[in-house]
Amino acid sequence: MTMTMVAEKTNTAAYQKGEFSDASDRDTESIRAPPQHTLKRQLKNRHIAMISIGGVIGTGLFVGTANALAHGGPLGLLLGYIVMGSIVYCVMITLGEMVAFLPIPGGHIKLAERFVDPAFSFTMGWNYWYNWVIVSPAELSAAALLLNYWGHKVNDSVWVVMCLVIVVTINMLGAGAYGEAEFIFASIKVLTITGLIILGIVIDLGGGPNHDRIGFRYWKNPGPFVQYNGIEGAKGRFLGWWAVMSSAAFSFIGTEIVAIAAGEAKNPRRNLPKAIRRVYIRILLFYIGGTFVIGLLVPSNNTSLQLNSGAAESPFVIAIQTAGIKSLPSLINACLLTSAWSASSSDLYTSSRAIYGLAASGNAPKIFLKTTKNGLPWVAVVFCASFSLLAFMAVSSGAGQVFDWLSAMTSVAGLMTWFGISVTYLRFYEGLKVQGIDRKTLPYSTRFQPYAAWYGACATLIVCFFSGFSVFLKGNWDTATFVTNYILLMVWPVMYVGARLYYRVKPVAAEDMDFKSDLAEIEADTYDEPPPKNKLEAFWQWLV
């Protein structure tokens, strides 16, 4: 690993002096990354568009909002998602600038090696892999939770096995099959959440079978906030809002999946900026709009909102049942189930590509670089799929309780990933400035930098630090909650310091940062999209 880094520094310095031509750069790249160890660019524009949407919409919105509403109340829920949405937006434009310029396999994991140091890449990579192998069983547990809507007569293990077989099959068919499946699943999710928001407004205005005009009734009684843990006054309301933050983080985790998918995206310099630019629309429409409607339709003291009660339901399903609409709750629950399948499939895809990126950086065994002829990293997929068996904990502890534990662990891991992305960008930004590269010449840039990256780095750390605050309240200690919220926060600096001691390589200096490698191949893969032939094609290109 050290030899590779030295070689990269030497090549970068030589390029800056004009000693290397484009051809020699390509030769160096071919030596460093053997063709047999590369992924294939199989993901089309519509795949990338829907993957970026699918990363935003998941069981966190459909199921996780139940606990969030119970803890924070309708206004606490809305404010929590607004604040977390602002963090996500800053992280995405931060990531977008780097990954649109360098859409390489391994995404932000490889970028951290290039612009920070190998130890930071090591820590980010294993944290990211851990994040996605943990969230996959969380989604499977959520699927079992949703399937329990139709009755508790079937053991949860049956639902877990059924969902797991579907998820593994999709991933073993390759990136193309995953892209097509995600396109279909994400389309269902988009139609479902859009329909639910519209239906929710209709129900709220008295358009349901019971003709009950709800309005802002539940904002008045039981109230806009929940007094967390019975604590009175502003302190209790503040803690109720803060309890929403971890749930909101879990809901948004996955928006950065486009960075990992970049290595398998066709025409990445055209398609990735389009996906990044529209992320704020998805945040506003799906999450802010969705949580606002949920707060109107379901009172925060509804007992079915407690995920660990054994009788939990999605807030949307609760609202439709209360409105007296027959049959539709089952249809909606089925659509939400496809959301869990889709999210779990994305989790397995991302974790397998994350460990592939680790292997490519020399931070994981080289066996994970093994691919089939069509570019499927099959060893990585099989290895990561084995961790999905953690979902069988739902059999003994209950799907709702397991979902709570795993979502807390995933939230912290995801927030630390966003912290790492923000730090990587700050070094990237400094390197561009020192080497005299104008950011306006990049495929994607915004005027909010570097302030957006600083906000993302600081906010994610603060949310992580206080994520498990509830265990420190008097009489509220819970070992499982403490461990799931803080184990990674304690391990992260240990991993980084240990990797620094192991690699014995200083952080990459701004003047030595490599902004040249891989560019020849990336530019060769860039082309202008054919113009639309009719208005329908023009609308489709605008949409995706």
Model confidence, pTM: 0.77
The CATH number of residue 409's host domain is: 1.20.1740.10
Nearest of 318, 31, 3 to residue 149 by alpha carbon: 318
**Range(s) of the domain holding residue 124:** 45-503
Q: Which amino acid makes up residue 465?
A: F
Within-domain flag for 525: no
Residue 277 in tokens: 């630019």
State the Cα angle at 232 between 229 and 236, rounded to 5°: 55
Number of domains in the chain: 1
> Exposure pattern of 133-152 as b/e (b: 16+ CB <10 Å)?
bbbbbbbbbbbbbbbbbeee
Q: What's the pLDDT score for residue 39?
A: 53
Within-domain flag for 353: yes
Compute φ and ψ for 208, nearest 5 degrees. Answer: -80, 175
DSSP string across 103-139: --TTTHHHHHHHHT-HHHHHHHHHHHHHHHHHHHHHH
DSSP string across 446-459: -TTTTHHHHHHHHH
Q: What's the pLDDT score for residue 452?
A: 93
14-71 pLDDT tens trace? 434 333 333 334 333 333 444 444 555 555 555 566 666 655 566 667 777 887 888 8
Which residues, listed in sequence order, are joined to residue 265 by a DSSP beta bridge?
Answer: 43
Compute φ and ψ for 467, nearest 5 degrees. Answer: -65, -30
Within-domain flag for 225: yes
The residues near 226 (Cβ < 8 Å, ≥ 6 apart) are 70, 71, 72, 73, 76, 236, 237, 240, 300
Q: What's the pLDDT score for residue 31?
A: 34
Q: What's the pLDDT score for residue 456?
A: 93
Nearest of 290, 199, 271 to residue 48 by alpha carbon: 271
**Cβ contact 58:254 at 8 Å:** yes
Taking the C-alpha atoms of residue 224 and residue 48, their distance in angstroms, rounded to an integer, is 38
Count of C-beta atoms within a 10 Å radius of residue 16? 15
Taking the C-alpha atoms of residue 164 and residue 438, their distance in angstroms, rounded to an integer, is 47
**Cβ contact 121:110 at 8 Å:** yes
Query: Coil, helix or strand for 265?
Result: strand
Within-domain flag for 249: yes
Q: Answer positive or negative: Cα dihedral of 39, 177, 141, 66.
A: positive
Taking the C-alpha atoms of residue 136 and residue 140, their distance in angstroms, rounded to an integer, is 6
Q: Which residues of the chain have pLDDT under 70?
A: 1-60, 142, 144-156, 175, 258-271, 275, 278, 306-313, 391, 393-407, 523-544
**Cβ contact 289:271 at 8 Å:** no
The stretches of 19-58 forming alpha helices (DSSP H) are: 22-32, 45-54
Q: What's the pLDDT score for residue 453?
A: 94
Q: What's the pLDDT score for residue 45?
A: 56
Within-domain flag for 243: yes
Within-domain flag for 413: yes
Q: What's the pLDDT score for residue 234?
A: 85
The residues near 21 (Cβ < 8 Å, ≥ 6 apart) are none
Mean pLDDT of the chain, nearest integer: 76
**Cβ contact 84:246 at 8 Å:** no
The residues near 128 (Cβ < 8 Å, ≥ 6 apart) are 108, 109, 350, 354, 413, 417
Count of C-beta atoms within a 10 Å radius of residue 372? 11
181-192 pLDDT tens trace? 777 777 787 788
Within-domain flag for 5: no
Compute φ and ψ for 447, nearest 5 degrees. Answer: -85, 0
Taking the C-alpha atoms of residue 186 and residue 280, their distance in angstroms, rounded to an integer, is 17
Q: What's the pLDDT score for residue 152?
A: 58
Q: What's the pLDDT score for residue 527?
A: 56
Within-domain flag for 516: no
